[in-house]
Amino acid sequence: MDTRSEVLLRQAQLFQGSMLLVGLAADDLLGRLPNARGWSWHAGDQAALEARFPGRSHFGVTAPTESFDSAVLFLPKSKDLTGYLLNALASRLAGRELYLVGEKRSGVESAAKQLNPFGKPRKLDSARHCQLWQVTVANAPEPVALESLAEEYELPLTEGPLKVVSLPGVFSHGRLDRGTALLLEHLDHLPSGHMLDFGCGAGVLGATVKRRYPDNRVTLLDVDAFAAASSRLTLAANGLEAEVLTGDGIDAAPMDLNCILTNPPFHTGVHTDYQATENLLRKAAKHLQKSGELRVVANSFLRYQPLIEEHLGPCAIKAEGQGFRIYRAKRG
């Protein structure tokens, strides 16, 4: 069981009423707290929770509509996302309890200061390298619309400026990361047909190739509902149409693709996790048509080339710079 869940169960007497567990892990906590309901924006966690506890977990970027007596936020990595979620919860919990739980190395003690506008927070427990904080919401705020927190920037592309819209919690929020910048310089000679932007984030790659190759079908896929929402905003801001999906990795992608483009993730919260990317590299051939192409940008220290060659075919380094490499391979 996740250590944060273990800390909650040390104080289980506090969590017997109807409550919302926000950003919870895909463990047995819902089974131990029968009156609790979950809210997740991670498609993999949501699928696992739904399989074990049907109908007890809500998926999306906004809170479920039903009322609850208290809520627990499992601290996310992003401070901006934490602020949005705390506002969304506190705005509906006047006079009731709001809890924050997180790992010490994730900065939970600092994040607890974000509870100050709502009341006087206090630390209830410190165990398993985690902390649990509580505040009685004396000052319920007005709810803030998620889209009002979006950050926008423009990319000067050959086809004209591309407006990018990113929401709190999305990878490289409000700025272009170096890996994607390198890949944007090397999107030449892509095959025609159906393209996939895997791990789409704010939709930079997907929107760019849809503009550059307007006759191609483009699908954007991310495990995170906030990323999918950002991609939809980016597409709309540029007058582009493409399919946006949420799903847990390449298994959620369409088949018979002509091209997969990706700046793949390798972090989950504060933890390093290569599983989604390695699964992509192992299964890309299954999702690509014959002669379909995989084009990946990744940190130079990540040894992806042997994995690509083992499961897809000969792999060339198309470009490198600023600590990144672009790998290119075709299905034989």
CB atoms within 10 A of CB 136: 16
pLDDT interval class at 71 (50, 70, 90): very high
Contact present, 21 and 72 (Cβ < 8 Å): yes
Tell me if 144 is assigned to some domain.
no
- Which is nearest to 72 in space by CA: 54, 58, 90? 90
> Do both 313 and 211 map to the same domain?
yes
Average pLDDT, the chain: 94
pLDDT above 70: residue 323: yes
- Per-residue pLDDT averaged across 55-82, rounded? 96
Tell me if 39 is assigned to some domain.
yes
Q: How far apart are CA 191 and CA 217, in angstroms?
A: 11
Look up residue 47 and give its amino acid. A
Provide the residue range defining the domain that includes 277: 150-330
Residue that terminates a domain, selected from 136, 166, 194 = 136
Residue 319 confidence (pLDDT): 93
Maximum CA extent, the chain: 64
- The dihedrals phi and psi of 86, each to the nearest 5 degrees, come to -60, -40
Give the CATH number of the domain where residue 83 resides.
Answer: 3.40.50.150
* Total domains present in the chain: 2
> Do both 113 and 160 map to the same domain?
no
> Do both 73 and 170 map to the same domain?
no
Entry pTM = 0.94
Tell me if 218 is assigned to some domain.
yes
Residue 332 confidence (pLDDT): 80
pLDDT above 60: residue 271: no
Q: Which residues is 217 bridged to in the sheet?
A: 194
Sign of CA dihedral 138, 141, 142, 144: negative
Residue that terminates a domain, selected from 95, 112, 136 = 136
Residue 266 confidence (pLDDT): 62
Residue 269 confidence (pLDDT): 47
Q: Out of 153-157, 172-176, 242-246, 322-326, pick the least confident.
A: 172-176
Residue 265 confidence (pLDDT): 73
pLDDT interval class at 273 (50, 70, 90): low
> Do both 129 and 174 map to the same domain?
no
> Do both 104 and 212 map to the same domain?
no
pLDDT above 50: residue 68: yes
Residue 270 confidence (pLDDT): 45
Instruction: Reduce the secondary structure of 176-209 to three states and give it as a string.
Output: CCHHHHHHHCCCCCCCCCEEEEECCCCCHHHHHH
> Do both 125 and 233 map to the same domain?
no
Contact present, 37 and 62 (Cβ < 8 Å): no
Q: How far apart are CA 70 and CA 49, in angstroms?
A: 20
> Do both 251 and 168 map to the same domain?
yes
> Do both 169 and 305 map to the same domain?
yes
pLDDT above 50: residue 12: yes
